[in-house]
Structure 1
Amino acid sequence: MLIFYTIFFLIFCYIVIFPPKEFISAGLTLDNIVSSFIIEERENFINHHIKRTSINLIIFSLLPSIFIYGCKVLHWQEVENEIMTIDNFKKWNNKTYNEFNGLQFLLNFFFYFLGFTTFIFFLTCIIIKYYSLENWKNHPIAQNLTLYTSTVEISEINNESHENINKETNNLENFSIKKDSWVRVAESVSKEFQLIDKFSSNFGNSKFYLTNSWMIKVGIFNVNIVQKNDVELNLAVAKDHTLSHISDFGAQILEIKVNPIHKTNIQPFNIRLSSFDYNSLKESLKRPIIITENIVIKQSLSDRFVETFIDVINGNPKYTLPPIITLENCLGCLIKPSQVKLYKNCIDTSPETPNDAENSERTHCKMCYCRPMWCISCMAKWFASRQNQKTPENWLSGYSPCPLCRSTFCILDVCLLR
């Protein structure tokens, strides 16, 4: 019975530390359970993770004690009864004496181990109590932010899409945060985290965020925060995986080392992400990533199609935008300006086989009267998403509905703006 209990407990601990995607999709993770008792991450990012990491430390320090106590419930009573049986009802000989000593040693070992694990638990509680003094000033996350209290600058934020988040995030002029005010730095990190134009990536039990000014790696027990303009990024490792839940065609996992340049007191850390997210990271980072020799970054099928898509539409006729129309940022990424207009250039042909399209009407392209609202990359990704994913060799000759008005178009109808 004790062996089955040990195996079950080890599986339970593994699921808590590395939850499978089925548990994550169902919300059955330690972070989700803990987050239901503290402030939400989006409301106050730093406060949320200070309390989350503290609660996680307490819970994990309690697990060994739970295991030993479970052993007592399941097995110790049996051990005690056996000792009493040997002591009172059996003849004493070398065999029974050795059995008695062995069982007594095992019992004492469990008692000592339970005392040790209980001590670890109370020591962790004392450490957390120390962290919480003076508004969590002593917490490692707060100590990390303290290093930026004299040098942090918050860039001006002036975007109408941010008005509903917080009025204070609009039109912030550059300013320096005074010393000994890590809370002000925490507020700036939390405000930038609330913005929707940040890069995010999940890998295993860690998360990575890239905002306008900060790089953030969230782990189970800690959060690494560095200023984006004060780091050097080195792509050191690239591992290929034939089988992966990320893609049916396998995946390449990249490991990037983040080295602070001027803040030498901050510990370097590594971030891991799929090669499919590498281009998005570079676009958001807006600075070079040093790549070690002999590392070849594999692009996803979608990225390769985007490149081919761009090459094809560069040969299409250009669309002259009327002067009365003002361009806005792309509806898909909200970062790049609108770059393409759907304008019917192709000559309709009847489908030769039923596989050419879902129905005959869809194969006839129609004029789209929507204003330019998409960048070239987002339009390419939209076009690819509307194709048969099992036959990527036919994507370029496929058809897609307009994202807004649903008018059918082909790749010949996508025009760059002049």
Structure 2
Amino acid sequence: MDSPEVTFTLAYLVFAVCFVFTPNEFHAAGLTVQNLLSGWLGSEDAAFVPFHLRRTAATLLCHSLLPLGYYVGVCLAASEKRFHSPAWRLFLLLAVTLPAVACILIYYWSRDRWARHPLARTLALYALPQSGWQAVASSINTEFRRIDKFATGAPGARVIVTDVWVMKVTTYRVHVAQQQDVHLTVTESRQHELSPDSNLPVQLLTIRVASANPAVQAFDIRSWRPA
């Protein structure tokens, strides 16, 4: 029979992978950062930008705590063992360092009302001289509340298109580009015999979204189309 340490390690590994990549079963059970911290995060529909400022910070912190959670859990699961070897001490140091670094980074982001967050810094590139990134954020919030927006993709790689903006929401970041400034380039095309939703052959296209402003980071989106 497997030892408690091995059993817990395998179980925790499955949990950690599912918690980070959140399959449908975890979404249905509410085991996501968005659901567990919904009271603090607020509503995406009501305030898209503030929601994702907090969500990316909370996700980074929660994921950074996973190694420490494993160390505490394995110590409890195999309490008869002594985890004092150099390897375990190094792991504990790493497990404590990760959330400490995450907290420092989140504190830096949150200064000046989140003005140093990567999303806020990107929005500031589109702000008029007499305004700030908050004005751009307010415009995005308003557009996201409209029913005519287009949204598709998995939660960890969601693509949202409004009248003015093209956005990609990932686990740790939100990429934003203004439609009138972007250049779309197909960088990869893959042929698949069957699509996820039908029995017809399809192509999976990887499209590079690059802004005319070199300070705005380019990002990739994926799209299915009939072959």
The question of a shared fold, defined as TM-score above 0.5 by the shorter chain, is answered with yes
Distance (whole Å) between structure 2 residues aligned to residue 33 and residue 243 of structure 1? 36
Report what 2:158 is aligned to.
Answer: 207
Q: Secondary structure at the match of 2:153?
A: strand
Report what 2:186 is aligned to.
Answer: 235
Distance (whole Å) between structure 2 residues aligned to residue 251 and residue 4 of structure 1? 41
Q: Is the 8 A contact 2:19 2:31 kept in 1?
A: no
Match of 1:51 among 51, 54, 62: 54
Q: Secondary structure at the match of 1:149?
A: coil
Q: Is the 8 A contact 1:69 1:114 kept in 2?
A: no
Q: Which moved more, 1:130-139 or 1:244-253?
A: 244-253
After superposition, where does 1:96-111 map in structure 2 within 5 Å?
107-111=85-89
Q: Secondary structure at the match of 2:204?
A: strand
After superposition, where does 1:393-404 map in structure 2 within 5 Å?
none
Alignment of 1:115 with 2:64, yes or no, is: no
For 1:268, the aligned partner's letter is: A
Higher fraction of helix: 2
For 2:219, the aligned partner's letter is: F
Distance (whole Å) between structure 2 residues aligned to residue 190 and residue 42 of structure 1? 8
Alignment of 1:225 with 2:225, yes or no, is: no
Distance (whole Å) between structure 2 residues aligned to residue 118 and residue 39 of structure 1? 29
Distance (whole Å) between structure 2 residues aligned to residue 25 and residue 249 of structure 1? 29
Q: Deviations over 1:86-128 (max 9, x none)?
A: xxxxxxxxxxxxxxxxxx6xx2321232122212211211211
After superposition, where does 1:158-307 map in structure 2 within 5 Å?
178-179=129-130, 181-203=132-154, 205-242=156-193, 245-249=196-200, 251-261=202-212, 263-275=213-225, 298=227
Q: Which has the larger radius of gyration?
A: 1
Q: Is the 8 A contact 2:20 2:63 kept in 1?
A: no
Q: Is the 8 A contact 2:60 2:172 kept in 1?
A: yes
User: What is the CA-CA distance between 1:224 and the residue it aligns to?
Assistant: 0.3
Distance (whole Å) between structure 1 residues aligned to residue 131 and residue 218 of structure 2? 23
Q: Is the 8 A contact 1:205 1:219 kept in 2?
A: yes
Q: Structure 2: which 5+ runs fail to align?
A: none
User: What is the CA-CA distance between 1:251 and the residue it aligns to?
Assistant: 4.6
User: What is the CA-CA distance between 1:257 and the residue it aligns to?
Assistant: 0.6
**Given the superposition, is the C-alpha separation of residues 22 and 239 from structure 1 closer, same or farther in structure 2, using an over 3 Å criterion?**
farther
Higher relative contact order (CA 8 A, sep 6+): 2
Same amino acid, percent of matched pairs: 31
Distance (whole Å) between structure 1 residues aligned to residue 188 and residue 82 of structure 2? 51
Q: Secondary structure at the match of 1:236?
A: strand
User: What is the CA-CA distance between 1:181 and the residue it aligns to?
Assistant: 0.8
User: What is the CA-CA distance between 1:253 and the residue it aligns to?
Assistant: 2.4
User: What is the CA-CA distance between 1:38 and the residue it aligns to?
Assistant: 1.8
Match of 1:147 among 111, 125, 137: 125
For 1:126, the aligned partner's letter is: I
For 1:56, the aligned partner's letter is: T
Q: Deviations over 1:212-241 (max 9, x none)?
A: 110110011000011111010012222234
Number of equivalent positions: 224
Q: Is the 8 A contact 2:33 2:58 kept in 1?
A: no
Q: Is the 8 A contact 1:35 1:52 kept in 2?
A: no
Distance (whole Å) between structure 2 residues aligned to residue 273 and residue 218 of structure 1? 15
**Given the superposition, is the C-alpha separation of residues 16 and 51 from structure 1 closer, same or farther in structure 2, using an over 3 Å criterion?**
same
Question: What TM-score, normalized to structure 1?
Answer: 0.50
After superposition, where does 1:361-376 map in structure 2 within 5 Å?
none
**Given the superposition, is the C-alpha separation of residues 26 and 71 from structure 1 closer, same or farther in structure 2, using an over 3 Å criterion?**
closer
Q: Deviations over 1:280-325 (max 9, x none)?
A: xxxxxxxxxxxxxxxxx52xxxxxxxxxxxxxxxxxxxxxxxxxxx
Report what 1:40 is aligned to.
Answer: 43
Higher fraction of strand: 2
Q: Deviations over 1:123-143 (max 9, x none)?
A: 211211121111111111100
Q: Is the 8 A contact 1:201 1:273 kept in 2?
A: no
